[in-house]
């Protein structure tokens, strides 16, 4: 499928590797940069959602999304993304993504950006986010070898379902990254057992066109 992502904030917190390890399937390695693993929260707007080659469906093609994730590889190859959770304002998007991509999507009440709020529906404990963010500085792609490149330039996602590992390829141009400022008032998005604190590493991207391919089993 194809979609456009707009007004993204990438907020990253360093966490000990062993803490993240417990929340990732054993078939995957948790990636680190200079020995440090990261948890991210990324809010943004989705537009132009459609099957590749078809026009967007009015009303259903635009919604808000927020994901909580870390970074992984399989047998030292194919660096990608592991999602702890994904929240969306669209029930259609939640149900479709759960079926097509076997991902842990949840419906949420959401508003924004630039002040982006998320309150997950129908859960036992609060999963909430409240932050105001804006870009800062020039747009430039991340240079190879930098922390920004390690965090942003990943071209597949992994998920685990029915006792096996799956992967979907993601295609897009290099991220048009900027610095960012953010006032994060509330963040209870990390999964149980993971806590983040202190000032996060922040990046912003204004717009990105994306192709996401179907899932394939990983041998």
CATH number at residue 58: 2.40.400.10
CA-closest candidate to residue 44, choices 15, 78, 73, 69: 69
pLDDT at 195 > cutoff 80: yes
Structural contact between residues 38 and 121, judged by C-beta atoms closer than 8 angstroms: no
Total structural domains within the chain: 1
The predicted pLDDT at position 55 comes to 63
Can you read off the two tokens belonging to residue 216?
Answer: 């394939």
Task: Name the pLDDT band for 176 (thresholds 50, 70, 90).
Answer: very high
What proportion of the chain, given as a percentage, has pLDDT over 70?
A: 96
Q: Rounded CA gap, 173 and 72, in Å? A: 20
Average pLDDT over the chain, rounded to whole?
Answer: 94
Residue-range definition of the domain harbouring residue 99: 2-217
Q: Rounded CA gap, 79 and 28, in Å? A: 10
pLDDT at 205 > cutoff 80: yes
Task: Name the pLDDT band for 58 (thresholds 50, 70, 90).
Answer: low
Rg (CA), the chain: 16
pLDDT at 206 > cutoff 90: yes
Which residues are registered as beta bridge partners of 73? 29
Q: Could you give the 3-state DSSP secondary structure of residue 18?
A: helix
pLDDT at 59 > cutoff 60: no
pTM over 0.85: yes
Rounded mean pLDDT, 189-203? 95
The predicted pLDDT at position 219 comes to 84
Q: What is the DSSP letter of 31?
A: P
Tens-place pLDDT, residues 68-124 = 999 999 999 999 999 999 999 999 889 988 999 999 999 999 999 999 999 999 988
Q: How many CB atoms lie within 10 A of CB 29?
A: 17
């Amino acid at each position: 499928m194809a979609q456009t992502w707009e007004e993204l904030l990438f907020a990253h917190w360093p966490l000990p590797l062993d803490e993240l390890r417990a929340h990732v399937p054993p078939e995957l390695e948790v990636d680190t940069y200079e020995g440090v693993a990261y948890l991210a929260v990324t809010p943004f707007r989705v537009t132009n959602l459609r099957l590749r080659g078809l026009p967007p469906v009015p009303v259903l093609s635009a919604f808000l999304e927020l994901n909580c994730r870390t970074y992984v590889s399989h047998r030292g190859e194919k660096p990608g993304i592991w999602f702890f959770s994904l929240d969306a304002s669209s029930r259609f998007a939640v149900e479709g993504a759960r079926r097509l991509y076997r991902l842990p999507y949840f419906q949420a009440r959401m508003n924004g950006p630039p002040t982006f709020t998320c309150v997950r529906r129908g859960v036992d404990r609060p999963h909430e986010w409240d932050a105001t963010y804006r870009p800062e500085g020039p747009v430039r792609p991340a240079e190879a070898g930098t922390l920004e490149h390690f965090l942003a330039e990943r071209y597949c996602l992994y998920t685990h379902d029915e006792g096996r590992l799956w992967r979907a390829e993601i295609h897009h141009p290099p991220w048009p990254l900027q610095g960012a400022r953010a006032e994060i008032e509330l963040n209870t998005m990390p999964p149980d057992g993971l806590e983040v604190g202190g000032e996060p590493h922040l990046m912003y991207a204004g717009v990105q066109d994306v192709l996401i391919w179907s899932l394939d089993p990983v041998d």
